[in-house]
Amino acid sequence: MPPVLVIARLTIQESSRRKLLIALVVLTLIVVGFSAWGFYKITTVTRPDGTPLEPAAIALITSQLLIVVTFMFSGVLALSAAVVAGPLISSEVESGLLLSMLARPLRRSEVVIGKWLGLAVLVAVYAAGSAILELAAVDLVTGYLPPHPVQLILYVGAEGLALLSLGLLLSTRLSGITAGVIGLVAWLMGWIGGIVGDIGTALQNQAIENVGIISHLLLPTDGLWRGAIYAMEPEAFLASMRAAGLAARANPFLAVDPPPVSFLTWVVLWFALILGLSILSFRTREI
């Protein structure tokens, strides 16, 4: 088996034994159960005259609440990816474990790529598993599914992978706690930068709008999150929001357009750039 795959397998085994991941799975199941109960309550809501809500109204309310729940899941995924990736390399450098590994015919690039692949598998499995459970629960109790569930899972998973990649890069130079904190703050700042950029779009102020563009280029997590929002919005609701004009774009939980192809192309290049910088940083670090 190639060294990269061996390191990836060992990374998966080691991370799977951590109490953090076990607690994350348990809490996810609890949240899915409680959210399913909350979505069910939507179907029992009646108007002041006692008549039940129309299916279209239930679908609209469900879609907006699902966006909020998904934002919570994406935040948990971002936090977990940053915390797990933060000590990925730095802890093994401090313990001397990597020194003994690199004494063998093993390239530092293989260590970086293998560890990234291992955690990427865990992030992808959690993102897909939690999303499928939540969507299945919502469909069961309300009969509603987002228009683009596959794209939703891909965007949320890519957001977690972006924080994982950033955490890995920071881990090549900083301690685990420092790298994790910086990764989480960067995610929050990227989200705030995206909101500022949307406000600039609504106000037709190019200088403020550029803040969002720059934040999306530096860390594409908010742009990916907007893609996830778009995948959850009913088309009829999107049409009404487009008719409302630019003012509707200032809503941080609304995306009236899908991410442009140019942005998605940049995301692919961003991943390659961050992984390349991680390899270069680790190669030049003294152990």
Cα(39)–Cα(223) distance, integer angstroms: 27
Q: Name the pTM for this structure.
A: 0.89
Contact (CB, 8 A) for 70 and 228:
yes
Q: Buried b vs exposed e over 104-143: b needs ≥16 C-beta within 10 Å?
A: eebebbbbbbbbbbbbbebbbebbeebbebbbebbeebbe
Residues of the chain with pLDDT under 50: none
Q: Compute the C-alpha angle 97/101/104, nearest 5°.
A: 155
Q: For residue range 78-125, what is the model confidence (pLDDT) as tens digits?
A: 888 887 877 767 666 665 566 556 556 777 788 888 889 988 998 899
Contact (CB, 8 A) for 118 and 11:
yes
Residues forming a β-bridge with 52 = 46
Non-local (6+) Cβ contacts of 188 within 8 A are none
**pLDDT, position 137:** 92
**pLDDT, position 247:** 60
Non-local (6+) Cβ contacts of 101 within 8 A are 92, 111
**pLDDT, position 91:** 66
| 3-state DSSP helix/strand/coil % of the chain, to nearest 5 | 80, 0, 20
DSSP 107: -
**pLDDT, position 6:** 78
